[in-house]
């Protein structure tokens, strides 16, 4: 099937390799995400991440980035305030994942959680998730996502203010404008933010970042390898080989 759907299996992929160094993630609390695309897909590659197609899936919460018919889907659950998500995106496997999304080997999907606001106080996760949804309207979700993690404030400061979010948006060519700025300041996508957190909770993702490959959450040693850039691609391949066949 194309797009995104509910979790297809309750089993988790743990792998059988030795555990490498990895962060445990921001505590949370299992997974939506789509399965493999139907049929034999023709690989589609892109020049850079700015060319990647972006859309909101039919479920109304999953943000889909990359080749529509990629054989493998990697679904990420992230809270914008989570420092371990920043570690993955900036220093871990994030850039490697971006590379194989650009090459068309995988499609990447995102569910934006905001539970850290409740734990730490403030509204930063919700404000950032709303701004990211507004960036999707401009086809700039991924570029803005990467810029926010590159400049992530300390989680305890609740630093994702309107002014901060707009200042970072100025670094993304073509993102700022009256519509985007108003959406940020007015929390235009508050309902999306609430629904996305509800999806995260419903799917029982065990904290952030959580990875699911072809609809099955990856935990244990194999998760630690997805977290690292030097082993991410092989680990995703192993996880895809272990995942059940996609529903037709």
The answer to whether residue 235 is domain-embedded is yes
Query: Are 217 and 28 contacting, i.e. CB atoms less than 8 angstroms apart?
Result: no
The answer to whether residue 21 is domain-embedded is no
What number is the average pLDDT over the span 181-200? 98
Residue 44 pLDDT: 86
The answer to whether residue 96 is domain-embedded is yes
Q: Which domain holds residue 221?
A: 52-242
The answer to whether residue 112 is domain-embedded is yes
The answer to whether residue 7 is domain-embedded is no
Band of the pLDDT at 214, cuts 50, 70, 90? Answer: very high
Mean pLDDT, the chain, integer: 87
Band of the pLDDT at 40, cuts 50, 70, 90? Answer: very low
The answer to whether residue 90 is domain-embedded is yes
Which tokens go with 230?
A: 């030097």
CATH number of the structural domain spanning residue 165: 3.40.30.10
pTM reported for the whole predicted model: 0.87
pLDDT at 244 over 80: no
The answer to whether residue 172 is domain-embedded is yes
């Amino acid at each position: 099937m194309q797009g995104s759907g509910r979790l297809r299996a309750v089993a988790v992929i743990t792998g059988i390799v030795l555990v490498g160094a990895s962060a445990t993630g921001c505590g949370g609390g299992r997974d939506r995400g789509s399965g493999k695309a139907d049929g034999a897909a023709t690989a589609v590659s892109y020049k850079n991440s700015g060319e990647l197609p972006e859309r909101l899936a039919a479920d109304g919460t999953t943000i889909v980035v990359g080749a529509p018919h990629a054989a493998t889907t990697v679904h990420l659950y992230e809270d914008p305030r989570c420092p371990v998500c920043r570690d993955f995106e900036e220093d871990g496997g994030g850039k490697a994942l971006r590379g194989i999304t650009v090459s068309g080997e995988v499609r990447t999907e995102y569910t934006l959680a905001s539970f850290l606001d409740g734990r730490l106080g403030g509204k930063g996760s919700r404000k950032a998730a709303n701004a990211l949804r507004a960036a999707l309207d401009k086809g700039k979700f991924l570029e803005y996502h990467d810029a926010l993690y590159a400049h992530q404030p300390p989680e305890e400061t609740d630093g994702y203010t309107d002014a901060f979010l707009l200042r970072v948006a100025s670094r993304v060519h073509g993102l700022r404008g009256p519509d985007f700025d108003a959406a940020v300041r007015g929390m235009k996508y508050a309902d999306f933010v609430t629904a996305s957190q509800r999806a995260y909770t419903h799917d029982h993702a065990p904290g952030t970042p959580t990875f699911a490959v072809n609809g099955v959450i990856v935990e244990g040693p194999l998760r630690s390898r997805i977290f690292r850039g030097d082993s991410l691609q092989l680990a995703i391949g192993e996880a895809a080989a272990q995942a059940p066949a996609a529903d037709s």
